Amino acid sequence: MVLRRSGAAPRRGTPADLLAVGLANPGAEYAGTRHNVGGDAIEIAAARHGASLKTEPRQRARLAEISVAGTKVAIAVPTTFMNESGAALPPLLQRTGIEDPRSIVVIHDELDLEPGRLQLKVGGGIAGHNGLRSIASALKTQDFCRIRIGIGRPPGRGAGASFVLSRPRGDEAALLAIARERAADALEAIASDGIDAAMGTFNVRG
């Protein structure tokens, strides 16, 4: 499936080969929470390449452009709240000229993976993740690439919402710090080698 930008509006900005979107809630209140690990991975990727994420009101995102092995990568963190992440996608696609959903990488937290585990995939369901639901609705497809960062499930019957919006501690915090770095590694691998090769590398359990 190929995405088509709505209407005949011309592309704005620099074309990109890949668009990576890290999901997070905005504001200091949510900084460092489990739900924000995707946005944190984008921050790490920007810092590695000497880039600075700048707020772009038209795109409803903080945005930068980096180059990985000759691949131009637009990296973004929506400035909307998580549940409205998809609002950033149409203007980001217009700006970057990207149409193929396999050229879109969404980095997000995943309750169904144990803390610190990383898994890459193309397409699939949304497993109740409201940020993914919003993006799939905006794109009208679920066939985009994902970098899933495991955060595990709350102990007992704890509420998922309060769990994802809280900050990890101790060993779990250390595991997620490593996972954020590995998510940035995975993004670079996708850019340099393609999603299939990256899945072969990062989906192997150690």
Residues annotated as part of the active site: 35
3-state SS assignment for residue 190: helix
3-state SS assignment for residue 6: coil
Pair of tokens at residue 141: 């497809």
Q: Which residues pair with 148 in a beta bridge?
A: 108, 119
The pairing of strands 145-150 and 118-122 is: antiparallel
Pair of tokens at residue 24: 């997070």
Q: Which helix (H) or strand (E) holds 143?
A: none
